[in-house]
Structure 1
Amino acid sequence: MTYKKTAKTGNSASPQTNRSQKNRPQNHRAQNSRTQNHRTQSRRTQKSNSAAPDSSIMPLLLVVIFIAGLIGAAQQHMLPYGIAGMYLTLSLLTFIAYAIDKSAAKRGKWRTKESTLHLLALMGGWPGALFAQNLLRHKSVKASFRNVFWLTVVANLAVLGYGIKTGAVDMFI
C-alpha cells in the first residue's frame, strides 16, 4: 500500500511514507523512533566511555580524607586503632568483592548479591566500595543501587558518630 503526497503543500491524507532500500514502504514515525533509540544508545555509550578522571576525584578524595581522619583520631587517642583497622580491613574486603563481581559480570558468571555489597558497606567497607565504584567503574550508574549505597554510608557514619559521642567505641580498645 502506498500513499501519495501532494506536490505543492506537502500534506497528505495519510501518514507520509518513504520507500526503504528493499522497496518496502516505511512510516516516518517508525523510522524516527529507531533514530531516537540509536541516539539514546549513543549517549549512554558516550556517558560510560567518557568517565573523565575529574568525575572520580571527589569521591576518592572523600575516602582519603576519611581514612586519614580515622588514623589521625587514633593517633590522638580519640578513637581506638581497632576502629581504624576495622575500616581499612572492611574497605579492602569490599573492594575485592566489587572486583570479583565486576569480573563475574564481564564473564557472565555467578554474581555477588547487591545486598551483600550493601552489607559490607554498612559494616564499614563503604570507603572501599566508593573506591571500587570509581576506579573499577562498577555499580556506579544504577541509581537504585547508588541510593541505597549512600544510605548505608550515612547510617554507618551515624553509628560511628554515636559511638564516639557516647564512648561506646572505647570497648574496642
Structure 2
Amino acid sequence: MLPIAVTPADLAAALAAMNFAAFAAFGIDKARAQSGTWRIRESTLLWLAFLGGTPGAYAGRALFRHKTRKQPFSDNLFHVVMFQLAGAGALAGWHFAG
C-alpha cells in the first residue's frame, strides 16, 4: 500500500471547494425557498460548514439573506465555528508543544 501525502495545496483546494459548495448551497436553498420547491436540509448546510465551508456558509448567508433570523440554525452554525476554533487551537497547541 502506498502512503498518502496531503500537500498544503491539496488542503487549500479542498477548502476552496467546500466553501464554494457551502456558498452555493445557501443560494440554491434560498431560491428553492422562494419558489416553494424541495429544500436543502439544514443538517446538510451545517455539515458543509463543519467540513470546512464555514466562511462560504457565512458569506452565502449574508449575501442571500438566508437563514439569518432562524435562531436555532444560527446557534448551531455558531457552535460549528466554536468547535472548529477549539479544534484548531488544540491542533496548534499539540503541534507547538511537541
TM-score relative to the length of structure 2? 0.80
Residue 90 of structure 1: CA displacement? 0.8
Root-mean-square deviation (Å): 1.8
Alignment partners' CA distance in 2, 1:117 and 1:135: 15
Distance 1:81 1:165 in 2: 23
Which amino acid counterpart does residue 92 of structure 1 have in structure 2? F
List runs of 5+ in structure 1 lacking aligned partners. 1-78, 168-173
Q: Do structure 1's residue 150 and structure 2's residue 78 form an aligned pair?
A: yes
Q: CA deviation at 1:89?
A: 1.6
| 70, 88, 97: which one aligns with 1:160 | 88
Q: 1:88 and 1:130 mapped to 2: Cα distance?
A: 14
Which residue of 21, 44, 51 maps to 1:93? 21
Q: Which has the higher contact order (CA 8 A, sep 6+)?
A: 2
Partners of 2:67 and 2:74 lie apart in 1 by 7
Alignment-derived partner of residue 36 in structure 2: 108
- Give, in angstroms, the shift of residue 132 of structure 1: 0.6
1:137 aligns with 2:83: no
Identical aligned residues as a percent = 36
Secondary structure of the corresponding residue to residue 131 of structure 1: helix
| Separation in 1, partners of 2:57, 2:72 | 15
Q: Deviations over 1:109-132 (max 9, x none)?
A: 000110111111111101000001
1:90 is paired with a residue of what secondary structure? helix
Please identify the structure whose Cα radius of gyration is greater. Answer: 1
Q: CA deviation at 1:106?
A: 0.7
Q: Report the residue type matching 2:48 in the other structure.
A: L
Deviates most, 84-93 or 138-147? 84-93
**Unaligned segments of structure 2, at least 5 residues:** 1-6
